[in-house]
């Protein structure tokens, strides 16, 4: 009998870079578990990582090349790409073409894409979606350190006595690391301070939460710098030996008294004083910064304002003391290493440095070399729109959803003469505009390396065959390069590319550059296969080591010193107005990743939030007549969305939050980035996703519906819809301003049914209530529930009915929307790992479970990744044990059909509203 095969690989989602053990059983099924030997996660996985095996199906995979929507062979497609790029370059110059790549691709893919554009096409018009998440951190590192170095390691989170999280919802966006922080806090009492306008899950765990005005971080850290100096915290020996610019930076900070900072940030002077005093008093302090810092039109200044505080105090590169930029994507760091940004050169060399350009060209023996920075992401798509870029190759990313003012990006691709998209997924909002589609391999099929936020290089290994005609990105780039007539692209394997990448890092280096992995320039295929996670630098001949940078200075500016950059708050073009009186903030939610092409396949990951929503403060909602769980419109000068209202006091008054994940593939009108202002940071080019003036209003609808369907609905004819997968079909939330003339015809179209189905129907025209269920034999093919208000219904029961057989009275239970005694409804999923619902947790609390640990013992909820612990804490706070009172604010009683069962699971989002209200 065959044995299961276990493959060590790395999670493809966030920058934590967790090790994964993927087990392939003899029957081909795959299961995943955390790798206990990986130093990022020591066996833990978060909800997304735990559900990876559920995302491996081939539904909607792009399996063959296509040209203009028709299947083509690889030769035909690659010839067309190479020929069109070559002709365009010959006619309009190297800058008339572009590559737009992704922090999702592997380092080897990234390396070749960069080599092709910069060294062979001779243009730096290659940028990456990492521009959208960490370019400001890169720019700040380069200004302060002379190179893009992350000084810290994850072990510092366990060494620190104080961790300050700035613009980072660590509990949801880097959950496994947050669990490491909480475990350390349990042992040694680490203090946590969170700087974030929203009371996020991370803020819920903090000792102090500073809910500052959006984008007011620069004054906050100028005030900190001034107070550190006043408190005598300057490390005079360190700054005089290793740092320039302290006096200028302090002069810039001098006007920022606590009173002035309070005015600029909206924080109380008492909270500011407490933060400043604690920072001053704690030697071992780590400042984590992430998207709330980087994604701003002053992102680089914010990051330098933070770094300045660490440089002044010498708290950098020491155990438990450092500024620490945490990346979003799994291989943002690998992209930085190979110069994947339009203003960088390979191996952390500087594109503006003629000697570095000559060195790289010499190493590649290439015919050309870009001699100026290329267009950064937002500029790049503007150039496409303006017709200056005439051919673009988009690889593994979805710019029609993820760039700011995303509708302009859609227009740009519509206008572009030649768009190539390499992707694993057939239908995305971007593939719709491709002239040529190239099928890429996905996680589980790819082979190469990625680098996580602590500079640790890990292997992603293939454990599945390449499906259909899918090919790795590096192979696609090499084939196009060869067909364009370039030599230097003959690679037999990813290991060969990795060897070259390692050799370039060591080439004419001798310690002059931070990034040096020369130890691997002769790595064999067998050694590459066996490569264990390793932290750079690893120069040739050195012992494998885990390194912090800069405790002894040795910065990478010409004089070997760091620079404290004198920053001051920048004027911004953004302002709220009578028409757009609120700030729009966008970001991630716990269980989804990017544009849901992968996480959107796992039903359990849509159990937490099942439809797009806007989180807003109840007072802002009341001012506009927006009801809890009602539909609302969010509008900016650039676009609009219709989403579910999630009222929460965790929102900051005057600001609303939209998750970034929903696309036209999952909802009618919920692309958050269509609303976002495209103003960018002038240094990094990173857009400010966290602050766009916006307005809100109720989205009045004549009817609301909920449906389940055994087949994926193809065309949903209603103004509002949101689709999510279920174990045996699909769930759809619906609403419209005009009711269809014939509900059965509407439902048959929605369910994709012909004339053979048997229907059960209940209709009360006066009350506007409709219930329909369609069966083929004993199989439920679809059910539709319509009401003038948001539909109150036990959604879990109706969804599970898709998987069951129904005859006789059981069919009427489906129509009634409630099961019998044997069909308990668990409510919206709070713990995605163990599928524990809100109602189960409330029942456990009422039965006497009085702590997160007790609930974990009773239901296992919160005992794996721990990301749901803050939700459980909220439920505990809202539900006195055995009181019989539930935190149920749901007002949409389903008059005739609820059977007295409350709280209703209207939608996962709404159930959360009930929890949070």
| Site residues, ligand SF4 (CB under 6 A) | 11, 13-14, 16-18, 41, 45-46, 48-49, 174-176
HSE, side-chain direction, 13 A CA sphere, residue 514: 27
* In the complex, least distance from residue 589 CB atom to ligand SF4, rounded to whole angstroms: 13
* In the complex, least distance from residue 174 CB atom to ligand SF4, rounded to whole angstroms: 6
Whether 397 and 127 have beta carbons less than 8 Å apart is answered as: no
**In terms of Cα–Cα distance, which of 327, 490, 356, 435 is closest to 85?**
435
Tell me the residue number closest to ligand SF4, measured at CB: 49
Q: Cα(702)–Cα(346) distance, rounded to whole angstroms?
A: 57
Residue whose CB is less far from ligand SF4, 175 or 729 = 175
Residue whose CB is less far from ligand SF4, 175 or 903 = 175
Residue whose CB is less far from ligand SF4, 11 or 342 = 11
* Cβ neighbours of residue 882 closer than 8 Å, sequence gap 6 or more: 846, 847, 848
Whether 648 and 870 have beta carbons less than 8 Å apart is answered as: no
* In the complex, least distance from residue 38 CB atom to ligand SF4, rounded to whole angstroms: 9
Residue whose CB is less far from ligand SF4, 41 or 239 = 41
* Cβ neighbours of residue 610 closer than 8 Å, sequence gap 6 or more: 722, 724, 731, 733, 828, 907, 908, 909
Residue whose CB is less far from ligand SF4, 598 or 878 = 598
- The helix/strand/coil state of 496 is helix
Report the DSSP beta bridge partners of residue 451.
Answer: 457
* In the complex, least distance from residue 872 CB atom to ligand SF4, rounded to whole angstroms: 19
Whether 40 and 459 have beta carbons less than 8 Å apart is answered as: no
Residue whose CB is less far from ligand SF4, 10 or 304 = 10
* In the complex, least distance from residue 135 CB atom to ligand SF4, rounded to whole angstroms: 21
Dihedral sign computed on CA atoms, order 337, 340, 343, 346: positive
Q: Cα(591)–Cα(589) distance, rounded to whole angstroms?
A: 6
* In the complex, least distance from residue 25 CB atom to ligand SF4, rounded to whole angstroms: 21
**In terms of Cα–Cα distance, which of 396, 392, 369 is closest to 382?**
392
* In the complex, least distance from residue 324 CB atom to ligand SF4, rounded to whole angstroms: 16
Residue whose CB is less far from ligand SF4, 317 or 603 = 603
Residue whose CB is less far from ligand SF4, 455 or 652 = 455
* Cβ neighbours of residue 68 closer than 8 Å, sequence gap 6 or more: 435
* In the complex, least distance from residue 326 CB atom to ligand SF4, rounded to whole angstroms: 11
* In the complex, least distance from residue 177 CB atom to ligand SF4, rounded to whole angstroms: 7
* In the complex, least distance from residue 15 CB atom to ligand SF4, rounded to whole angstroms: 7
Q: Tokens representing 303? A: 């990051």
Instruction: Kindly report the three-state secondary structure assignment for every residue of 77-137.
Output: HHHHHHHHHHHHHHHHCHHHEEEEECCCCCHHHHHHHHHHHHHHHCCCCEEECCHHHHHHH
Residue whose CB is less far from ligand SF4, 333 or 679 = 333
Residues in the chain: 917
Q: Tokens representing 375? A: 């267009």
Residue whose CB is less far from ligand SF4, 172 or 279 = 172
Residue whose CB is less far from ligand SF4, 265 or 397 = 397
- The helix/strand/coil state of 10 is strand
**In terms of Cα–Cα distance, which of 300, 308, 325 is closest to 215?**
300
Residue whose CB is less far from ligand SF4, 46 or 722 = 46
Q: Cα(365)–Cα(44) distance, rounded to whole angstroms?
A: 45
* In the complex, least distance from residue 200 CB atom to ligand SF4, rounded to whole angstroms: 16
Whether 112 and 489 have beta carbons less than 8 Å apart is answered as: yes
Q: Cα(418)–Cα(98) distance, rounded to whole angstroms?
A: 11
* In the complex, least distance from residue 179 CB atom to ligand SF4, rounded to whole angstroms: 9
Whether 457 and 444 have beta carbons less than 8 Å apart is answered as: no
Residue whose CB is less far from ligand SF4, 48 or 302 = 48
* In the complex, least distance from residue 42 CB atom to ligand SF4, rounded to whole angstroms: 11
Radius of gyration for the chain, computed over Cα atoms and rounded to the nearest angstrom: 27
Distances (CA, A) of 343 to 122, 353, 770: 13, 11, 58
């Amino acid at each position: 009998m065959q044995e299961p095969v276990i493959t060590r690989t790395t999670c493809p989602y966030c920058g934590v870079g967790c090790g994964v053990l993927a087990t392939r059983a003899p029957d081909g099924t795959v299961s995943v578990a955390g790798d206990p030997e990986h130093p990022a996660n020591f066996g833990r996985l978060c909800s997304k990582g735990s559900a990876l095996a559920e995302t491996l199906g081939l539904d909607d995979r792009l399996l063959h090349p296509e040209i203009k929507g028709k299947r083509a062979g690889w030769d035909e497609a690659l010839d067309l790409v190479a020929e069109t790029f070559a002709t365009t370059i010959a006619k309009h110059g190297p800058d008339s073409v572009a590559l737009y790549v992704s922090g999702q691709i592997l380092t080897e893919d990234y390396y070749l894409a960069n080599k092709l554009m910069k060294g062979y096409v001779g243009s730096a018009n290659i940028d990456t979606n990492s521009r959208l998440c960490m370019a400001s951190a890169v720019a700040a590192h380069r200004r302060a350190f002379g190179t893009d170095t992350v000084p810290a390691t994850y072990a510092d989170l366990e060494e620190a006595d104080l961790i300050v999280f700035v613009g980072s919802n660590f509990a949801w966006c880097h959950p496994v690391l947050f669990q490491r922080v909480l475990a350390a806090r349990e042992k040694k009492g680490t203090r946590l301070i969170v700087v974030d306008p929203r009371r996020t899950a991370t803020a819920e765990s903090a000792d102090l939460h500073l809910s500052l005005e959006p984008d007011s971080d620069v004054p906050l850290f100028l005030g900190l710098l001034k107070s550190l100096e006043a408190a005598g915290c300057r490390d005079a020996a360190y700054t005089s030996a290793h740092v320039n610019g302290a006096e200028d930076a302090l002069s810039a900070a001098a006007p920022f008294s606590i009173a002035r900072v309070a005015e600029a940030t909206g924080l109380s002077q008492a909270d500011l004083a407490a933060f400043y005093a604690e920072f001053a008093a704690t030697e071992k302090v780590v400042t984590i910064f992430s998207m709330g810092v980087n994604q701003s039109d002053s992102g680089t200044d914010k990051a330098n304002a933070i770094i300045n505080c660490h440089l002044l105090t010498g708290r950098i590169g020491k155990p438990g003391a450092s500024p620490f930029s945490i990346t979003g994507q799994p291989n943002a760091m690998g992209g930085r290493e190979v110069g994947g940004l339009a203003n960088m050169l390979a191996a952390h060399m500087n594109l503006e440095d003629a000697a570095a350009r000559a060195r790289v060209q010499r190493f590649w023996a290439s015919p050309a070399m870009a001699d100026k920075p290329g267009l950064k992401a937002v500029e790049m798509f503007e150039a496409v729109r303006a017709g200056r870029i005439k051919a673009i190759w988009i690889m593994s990313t979805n710019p029609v959803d993820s760039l700011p003012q995303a509708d302009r990006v859609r227009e740009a691709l519509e206008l572009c003469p030649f768009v190539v998209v390499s992707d694993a997924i057939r239908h995305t909002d971007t593939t719709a505009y491709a002239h040529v589609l190239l099928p890429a391999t996905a996680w589980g099929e790819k082979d190469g390396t990625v680098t996580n936020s602590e500079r640790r290089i890990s292997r992603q290994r293939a454990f599945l065959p390449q499906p259909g005609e899918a090919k790795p990105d590096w192979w696609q780039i090499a084939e196009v390069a060869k067909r364009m007539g370039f030599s230097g692209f003959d690679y037999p394997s990813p290991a060969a590319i990795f060897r070259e990448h390692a050799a370039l890092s060591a080439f004419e280096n001798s310690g002059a550059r931070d990034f040096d992995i020369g130890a691997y320039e002769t790595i064999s295929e067998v050694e590459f296969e066996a490569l264990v996670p390793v932290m750079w630098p690893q120069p040739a001949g050195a012992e494998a080591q885990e390194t912090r940078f800069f405790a002894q200075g040795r910065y990478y500016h010409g004089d070997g010193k760091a620079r404290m950059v004198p920053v001051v708050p920048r004027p911004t073009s953004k302002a709220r107005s009578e028409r757009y009186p609120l700030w729009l903030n966008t970001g991630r939610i716990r269980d989804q990743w990017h544009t849901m092409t992968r996480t959107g396949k796992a039903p359990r990951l849509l159990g937490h939030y099942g439809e797009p929503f806007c989180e807003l403060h109840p007072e802002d909602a009341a001012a506009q007549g927006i009801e809890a769980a009602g539909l609302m419109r969010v509008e900016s000068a650039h676009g609009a969305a219709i989403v579910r209202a999630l009222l929460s006091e965790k929102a900051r008054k005057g600001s609303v939050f939209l998750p970034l994940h929903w696309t036209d593939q999952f909802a009618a009108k919920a692309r958050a980035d269509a609303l976002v202002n495209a103003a960018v940071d002038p240094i990094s080019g990173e857009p400010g996703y966290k602050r766009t003036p916006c307005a809100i209003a109720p989205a009045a609808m004549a009817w609301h519906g909920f449906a389940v369907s055994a087949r994926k609905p193809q065309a949903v004819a209603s103004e509002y819809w949101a689709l999510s997968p279920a174990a045996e079909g699909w769930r759809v939330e619906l609403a419209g301003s005009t009711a269809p003339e014939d509900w059965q015809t509407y439902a048959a179209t929605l369910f994709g049914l012909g004339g053979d189905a048997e229907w059960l129907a209940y209709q009360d025209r006066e009350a506007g209530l409709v219930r329909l269920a369609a069966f083929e034999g004993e199989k439920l093919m679809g059910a539709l529930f319509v009401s003038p208000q948001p539909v109150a219904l036990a959604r879990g029961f109706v969804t599970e009915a898709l998987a069951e057989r129904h005859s006789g009275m059981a069919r009427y239970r489906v129509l009634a929307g409630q099961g019998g005694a044997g069909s308990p409804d668990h409510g919206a999923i709070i713990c995605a790992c163990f599928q524990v619902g809100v109602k189960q947790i409330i029942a456990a609390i009422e039965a006497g479970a009085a702590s997160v640990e007790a609930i974990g013992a009773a239901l296992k909820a919160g005992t794996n990744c721990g990301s749901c612990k803050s939700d459980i804490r909220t439920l505990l706070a809202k539900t006195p044990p055995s009181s019989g009172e539930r935190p149920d604010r749901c007002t949409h009683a389903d008059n005739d059909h609820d059977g007295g069962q409350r709280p209703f699971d209207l939608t996962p989002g709404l159930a959360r509203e009930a929890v949070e209200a």
